[in-house]
Every structure is written in C-alpha cells, then in structure tokens.
Chains A and B, each alone.
Chain A
Amino acid sequence: MAGAVLRAETAEEVAEAIGQARRQARGLEARGGATLLPRLGGAARPEPSEDADVLTLDGLSGVVDHPAADLTVTVRAGTPVAELASALAEAGQECPIEPLAGADGAPLGSTVGGRVSAALAGPRQLGAGRVRDWVLRVRYVTGEGRVAHAGGATVKDVTGYDLCRLLTGSWGTLAVLTEVTLKLRPRPPARAWYRTTRPPSAWWATLHDPAAIVTDAVGTSVLLEGHPDDVAEQADAAGLEESTPPTPPTGARAVVAPSRTDELVAAISELDCAWAAEPALGLVHLAGDATALEQARAQAERLDGRLLRLDGDAQAPVFGHDPGPDPYAGPLREALDPDAVLAPWRWSR
C-alpha cells in the first residue's frame, strides 16, 4: 500500500496519526522541516513508502510562551529554529544548542523538535553543555498514542522519571515530541571566532572556558564569548587572530569519547577524506566518497564510536547495526512504543 504524508497541527492529531499507523501496522516517520531526514537516505523514511507513512509537523508551529523574566521559552515542536532564535534575540537571550553550519550551509534540523529529537552536537556544547541539558519540559505522544508531558517550565524539576533526557536524542522513536520548553541564557555581550596555526598544546591552557574549538589539518578555530575585554585579553594571551567561522565538511559525522579524538583523527587522516574535529567533544566532521566514509565508520566503531552519514546514501540506521549494547533500549521501546510504530528503522531489523 502506498504511503501518505499525514499532517498534524495538534497533539491530538499526532495521536490520531499514530493510532492509524498502529491499526494498519505501518511505520511512521515524524518529520519537521525535512532538512535532516532526507540526508539519511535509506536509513530513514523521509518520504512515504510501501510500509511507512510520514507525519509532518510543520503545521504544529509557533512560540507558545516566552516569559523572558523566567529565562524559559515554550515552543511547538515544528517551530523553525530561525523563528525561535529571532524571538529570543529581541529579548537579548539565546539557547546555545545550534549545530555548526557546514560547508554546504544546509541546516541539520531546521525545527526545534527536529533538533531536540536528533540532538546533534553543536560546537558551543564545549562551553554550554549538551542539548539534553537545555530541555526543561517536553510534551509528547507515545507510540501507543498516550498524550503526556515530562519535566516542568522551571529550571529544576525532579518530578517523576527524567523523560526529557530520554526523549532528547531519541530520533523520533518512543514518542513524537509536540512541544518543548527550553532553558535560556542572556546573549553574551561579545562573541568572535579566532584562528591559529599553532598547536593547541601551546595555548589551550591559557583559555578559560572557551565557547567552541574546531581543528582541521591546517589549524584551529576558537570561539570566544563573554565580556568584550575578557574576549580580547584571552585571544591576546593565546595568540589567536580574529577570523571567520569554520565551515567543516558535511558528508558525515563521527563521534568517539572526547579522550579518543586524536586517535580517530589520526586514523581518518590516513583516508581519502576531508575532516574537521571538535576535539573536546569527540566529534569529527567528514566528507569523502562512500568507500572512504565506510572506512571512517569502521575506524570510529573500532574506537567504540559511531558515524552518521549525511550524504543521502546512508544505509546504516542511526542507532547502529544491531540493537546496541544497551540492554534497556528494548524494554523501554516496548514500554512506550510496543507495536514498533515510530521509526523502527532507527534500529536495523
């Protein structure tokens, strides 16, 4: 049976779509701005197919509440990240979870829901922490059609189990996010990218809390944020030159534990790949042909890491070739999505 693009503008409509998929024993891929999923190619179902429908959430959009004095914002999942960013900028605030813009300029997840679902690391996670640490509350619909929420609109809430963190980075499995409340902070008064070709060991220790660091085969880019005088003094002390932001390759993203980044970079520089690394995050951005990227995958997996191909030709599921080493993933999926309706192709079948 040919698949369909379903459209939901409310949580109840999301629940209806899920219910229909369950009755028809079809898979469902929740889609926001359709910027990320198509790049996963065969590893996702960005368009309707024989066994799967697409649930588009671009109509489930808009800022619900932005009490600036509380440093929080609540948005519907399909809200464009750009719309959120400009609303926050007006109040002198930000939520520093954006991924690095790649060489091709294409965003990796253009809606808030997509960004939280995929939780791809942005360069400012070095200073600002993970996406999961900025999510205060989620409203969601489980694979069983239960409409619920977790967390609260306050900066601290330990009521019940932390499903905010469980669902952040769950890639549309378990539940479909319908609304997200994020923690905010004031925008730093100064922000600038710098560049140096000296080895990081020569200057890294002189920096306190740099916002982002991206290295490549030639040199290193550093993002400094804060009081303008502090930024200038830090750059001066470390011998950094002001520059443009880095534009890393966008064919794939490999990730290992931060302490193993050097090993991964060493292995990848032997391959026919362009690369740029965020060493303190264990992240390596890559470009190359399919053979090179699969070789890079093998190297990342050898180091207990992962690789996500974004060249539209990825055949491997996001969560790896097998259910993974995590013995709880199966029971949790059974608990929230017992009929495996939501993006079951994230795990290989």
Chain B
Amino acid sequence: MGATTDPTQRMQERGLLHAQERGLLHALEEIVGPQGLRTGAYGRAMYRRDASFLNAEPLAVAAPRTVEEAARVLRACRDHGVPFTPRAAGTGLAGGATPVGEDRRPLVISMARMDRIVEVDAAGRRAYVEPGAVNLRLGQAAARHGLRFAPDPASQIAATLGGNIATNAGGIHVLTYGVMSQHVLSVDVLDTDGVRHTLDGTLAEQGGLDVRGLTVGNEGTFGLVVGAWLRLLPVPPHTATLLAGFPSLTAAAEAVSAIVTGSRLPDAIELMDARAIHLVEDYAQAGYPSDAAAVLLVEHEGLTHGVEAGVAEAERLVRAHGASTVTRAADAAQRARIWKGRKAVAGAIAKVAPDYYLQDVVVPRSRLAEMLAEVVAIGEREDLTILNVLHAGDGNLHPFVAFDRREEGVLERVHRAGAAMVTTALSLGGSLTGEHGVGVEKRDFLCEVFGEDGLEVQRRVRRAMDPTGLANPHKVLPTPAGCAESAPSMVPTGAWV
C-alpha cells in the first residue's frame, strides 16, 4: 500500500486520491444510476458500521442491480485505485462490513438490490440466489417444495445469504448439518477486474483445487460474490424438541457433554442462562421455566424410531444431570415458540441496555463448563452484565455483554472482557471465532494463532485471490504492526467506536 513517511509527498498523494475519488463518483452514477448511489453525509451515515460497534466513513455507497453493473463498479474502483467493502444487511458482528480505509476511504458496495431467489430447482435439491437475498426467505421458498435450507443463524430474519457465504456462517442446526460451506454447491465471484468466475464444487471428486471452499468465509477480501447455488434438504419426517430447566449453569453444560457422547447426536443443542430466559420469555411465551438457572433446548430430527430413541436418551441424561423441569414441545406451534425465544435474544436485549457486544468463541465440547465459569468470572471482574446463549452442542459460546456506551470507561471494560474471553477460549484449545468471522475485531489475534509462517501463507493466499489489495482492505489478517504490539487492538486507524 506504499505508505510513505514524507509529509509533502503524502499530501500530494492525498490530492491525487481526491481527484480519483471524484472521477470514481462520476463513473458510478453512470453505472448504478442516481438511485443506486449515495454520496451525501446522511446517505453514507448508516453504512459506517455493521452490527459491531466499529465505525468508519465510506467514500460513498453504490448499489448495483445486476452482475454486469457490479462488474463495472469493480472495474471503476480498480481504474481509480479506490478500495471497496461489500455489504448486504450489515448484521455482521466483527466489523467485516465497516469500511475501514486508513488512508483511502473505501466505496461500500451494497448488495441490497441484488436480492432475488432466482431459481428453486426442487428435483435437483438446490437453489440459485443473489447475495442480497435474506436467509429466511430461502427457507420459505424451499418449504413450498417440501425442502429446507439448513444453515439458520439466529439473525436469519435479516441476515443475507451473501453475508452467510462471506463469513461461512453457522446457526442452530450446524451440529449435524454442518456450516454454510457444506451447503454451498458453487459460488459466482467477481474478481477485482470485474471478471466473473464460477467456483464449482459440484464434482464429488477430481474437481481440482476447492477454490469454492476457500472462498466461502473470505469476508469480502477476494472480490464480490454475486450469486451461488445452495443445497436444499428434504424436511425430516419427524421432529422432537425438548426443553430442560437446570438449577445451575454448570449442570446444564455437563449435560451437554453427556448428550454429545451418547449414542445419537441431536440436530441442535442450545443453552441459555437465566438472564437470557427472562429477557425473551415475555415475548416468546415459549414456556421457559422462570426459576431455572439455565435451559437446554435439544432437538432430534429424522425417522420416528431414531428420533424417539434420541429424545428418550436426552431426557434420561438431562434428568441424570439434575434437570428440574423437562418439557417436550407438544406440537409445531410450541416448537416454533421455543425457537423464536432463542432467536429473539439480540432483538430483545435493548430491554437490558441500549448497547450490546456479542462474542463468538468456541471450545472443545468437554471444556464447556470451564469456559462458561470463566465467562461469568470475567463479567464479575469487569462489572458487566453478561447474558449467555450458546450453540452448546458445537461448543460455540455467544456471551452478550449488555452495556450503555454513555457510561464512562465502559467501552474499555467491554473490550477487555471480549479479549479475555478470546484468550480463555484459546487457552482451552478452542478458537477465536466459530461463525461470525474475524473482520477487524479479531484480526490481531491471528498473529498468536497462526504464527509467522501460518500468517505468511494466509497473506499469500489473499494476494493470490486479490493481487490489487482493493477488496475489503484491513480485514481478516493483521498488519505487521498489529503483530508487533503486545495487546491486540480492536480499533484500527481511521475507525472509531
């Protein structure tokens, strides 16, 4: 990125960049039309951040309607040397869609107008979607054919499939159905020259390098995803959902380990603590036990005998681990309410405090109880309110830290708590992000995780996929300076919280 330390030369470069920026805006208006371009302070303001609390000012926002327009937008960026940040719904939690530029403000490319579910091929059990299509809508479209789309992040009511591809998202049913990558058959990506490539994973073997797999989870740093064939699955004939209340968080966590090592793996195991239960029960009326310290939601799907055997085993195990209440969803409506409550935590948290920080760390499943105890201790140490919601079967924790940013010094405490959770997860043999991505928030932790050689391989892979460095700069990989600093920084130059 050729940063120079000579101030005169830097100012000249700034001048040149401004001229380039003006030229780009002219070109963009021609490509996406006045409706598709936002350049004013007000129009840009809502694109400064995603669902994380990191802000940065974009140069402008362009929303192409077609692949051809998107390709022309990318070529214009290239020709004017302006970086870009792809964005869809902006539900990301790690700052991946925050337009961090440091010395050059990026153009935000909004996929909001490329939001069609283009085709549902029921016989082929697949669907072609544009990146701006909302996750839940694909589920609804598939349901009309007796099919479903398995990845179901709690944010699926707003989160888009393009964003799910960008982060290799997970969701509640990852446990047996696997993460997003497992459901992406092929992905159409525009490189930074605007050339379209279909990265195909449909051959069962001998298909060459799995560049499709490499691209899922790239967080917008390879180019722009403009479409994908996604896998649909038949709706299982039988489903049973169990709701178990526990007198302690530890007991619930230990029950998870027992269930996971049982003879039949459930399709979902979620854990919520007392604070989360109280928060959503009014809204969902799911019948969560109000006096429990934690609840487990256990779901089995498939053929009747297997499901019934699985549920019986789960019920036996939760009781053996001290569950005080065990309820089985009587019908589809009650099941829907149980899941509605689970998925409503982020939306309802405003009742507790105006801001929240959502962490996403993973530990080996057998370390879950230990990790949860640490999260509670971290909350006490930093005097923060933490709600625990977990994809427990995956060992994936999502502590919500609820706070009010107007409180002096609270952001530092939240940051410290977030960093402490990451370090604790790593020390338990876990990972620093399970499904939300690295974005900006966690990039400096990669120094420690990968070491110099591992990081160099990651950097080379990124350069191979985007030699220009224009695609979503400053994301995923740490700067060399970031690795030199003793404590990972979560707020890069040019950004603010």
| Interface pair A329/B211, CB less than 8 Å apart | yes
Give the residues from 421 to 453 in chain B that come closer than 8 angstroms, CB to CB, to chain A: 429-438, 442, 446, 449-451, 453
| Interface pair A166/B211, CB less than 8 Å apart | yes
Could you say which of A23-31, A51-59, A78-86, A153-161 contacts chain B?
Answer: A153-161
User: A61 interface residue, CB < 8 Å from B?
Assistant: no
Q: How far is the CB of A64 from chain B (nearest CB, A)?
A: 13
Q: How far is the CB of A175 from chain B (nearest CB, A)?
A: 8
| Interface pair A306/B206, CB less than 8 Å apart | yes
| Interface pair B181/A165, CB less than 8 Å apart | yes
- Of A119, A157, A234, most buried by chain B (CB within 10 Å of CB) is A157
| Interface pair A255/B203, CB less than 8 Å apart | yes
User: B202 interface residue, CB < 8 Å from A?
Assistant: yes
Could you say which of B48-56, B59-67, B360-368 contacts chain A?
Answer: B360-368
Q: Using Cβ atoms and an 8 Å threshold, which residues of chain B touch A13? A: none
User: B458 interface residue, CB < 8 Å from A?
Assistant: yes
Asked, given contacts A159-B432, A160-B476, A306-B203, whether A148 binds B454 with beta carbons under 8 Å apart, the answer is: yes
| Interface pair A161/B257, CB less than 8 Å apart | no
Give the residues from 172 to 210 in chain A that come closer than 8 angstroms, CB to CB, to chain B: 173-174, 185-186, 189, 208-209
Give the residues from 342 to 385 in chain B that come closer than 8 angstroms, CB to CB, to chain A: 362-366
Residue of A nearest to B438 (CB): A159
Residue of A nearest to B169 (CB): A158
| Interface pair A154/B431, CB less than 8 Å apart | yes
| Interface pair A168/B210, CB less than 8 Å apart | yes
Q: Using Cβ atoms and an 8 Å threshold, which residues of chain B touch A209? A: 234, 236, 302-303
| Interface pair A282/B257, CB less than 8 Å apart | no
| Interface pair B365/A71, CB less than 8 Å apart | yes
Selected from A69, A133, A157, A305, the residue in CB contact (under 8 A) with B365 is: A69
Asked, given contacts A92-B263, A208-B302, whether A331 binds B465 with beta carbons under 8 Å apart, the answer is: yes
Question: How far, in angstroms, from A170 to B303 measured CA to CA in the complex?
Answer: 37
| Interface pair B454/A150, CB less than 8 Å apart | yes
Give the residues from 161 to 183 in chain B that come closer than 8 angstroms, CB to CB, to chain A: 167-168, 170, 174-176, 178-179, 181-182
Q: How far is the CB of B159 from chain A (nearest CB, A)?
A: 15
Selected from B303, B456, B465, B467, the residue in CB contact (under 8 A) with A227 is: B303
Q: Using Cβ atoms and an 8 Å threshold, which residues of chain A touch B260? A: 69, 71
| Interface pair B214/A185, CB less than 8 Å apart | no
User: B34 interface residue, CB < 8 Å from A?
Assistant: no
User: B337 interface residue, CB < 8 Å from A?
Assistant: no
Q: Using Cβ atoms and an 8 Å threshold, which residues of chain B touch A334? A: 464
Q: Using Cβ atoms and an 8 Å threshold, which residues of chain B touch A258? A: 124, 202, 204
| Interface pair B446/A159, CB less than 8 Å apart | yes
- Of B175, B260, B364, most buried by chain A (CB within 10 Å of CB) is B364
Q: Using Cβ atoms and an 8 Å threshold, which residues of chain A touch B442? A: 159
| Interface pair A125/B209, CB less than 8 Å apart | no
Question: How far, in angstroms, from A317 to B479 measured CA to CA in the complex?
Answer: 39
User: A262 interface residue, CB < 8 Å from B?
Assistant: no
Selected from A121, A228, A328, the residue in CB contact (under 8 A) with B464 is: A328
Interface residues on B, range: 35 or more
Question: How far, in angstroms, from A333 to B344 measured CA to CA in the complex?
Answer: 45
User: B18 interface residue, CB < 8 Å from A?
Assistant: no
Selected from B175, B205, B206, B463, the residue in CB contact (under 8 A) with A335 is: B463
Q: How far is the CB of A19 from chain B (nearest CB, A)?
A: 13
Give the residues from 192 to 225 in chain B that come closer than 8 angstroms, CB to CB, to chain A: 195, 197, 199, 202-214, 216-218
Question: How far, in angstroms, from A67 to B210 measured CA to CA in the complex?
Answer: 29
| Interface pair A146/B237, CB less than 8 Å apart | no
Could you say which of A240-248, A265-273, A288-296, A318-326 contacts chain B?
Answer: A318-326
Q: Using Cβ atoms and an 8 Å threshold, which residues of chain B touch A331? A: 463-465, 467
| Interface pair A155/B174, CB less than 8 Å apart | yes
Question: How far, in angstroms, from A121 to B201 measured CA to CA in the complex?
Answer: 13
Could you say which of B133-141, B281-289, B304-312, B314-322 contacts chain A?
Answer: B304-312
User: B265 interface residue, CB < 8 Å from A?
Assistant: yes
- Other than the known A165-B214, A227-B305, what 19 A-B pairs have Cβ atoms closer than 8 Å? A68-B261, A118-B205, A120-B205, A121-B205, A132-B210, A153-B429, A159-B433, A162-B217, A164-B213, A169-B209, A209-B234, A209-B302, A255-B203, A326-B209, A327-B191, A328-B211, A329-B208, A332-B209, A335-B461
**Could you write out 19 A-B pairs with CB less than 8 Å apart?**
A68-B261, A150-B457, A154-B362, A154-B364, A156-B396, A156-B431, A158-B437, A160-B450, A160-B477, A162-B214, A165-B214, A189-B264, A208-B237, A226-B302, A255-B206, A283-B205, A306-B206, A319-B208, A332-B209
Closest 5 CB pairs of A and B: A165-B213, A148-B454, A331-B464, A335-B460, A227-B306
Q: A residues near B, CB below 8 A?
A: 67-72, 92, 118-121, 125, 129-130, 132-133, 142, 146-150, 152-166, 168-170, 173-174, 185-186, 189, 208-209, 226-230, 233-234, 253, 255-259, 278, 281-283, 305-308, 318-320, 324, 326-329, 331-332, 334-336
Q: B residues near A, CB below 8 A?
A: 124, 167-168, 170, 174-176, 178-179, 181-182, 191, 195, 197, 199, 202-214, 216-218, 234, 236-237, 257, 260-265, 302-306, 309, 362-366, 391, 394-396, 429-438, 442, 446, 449-451, 453-454, 456-458, 460-465, 467, 476-477
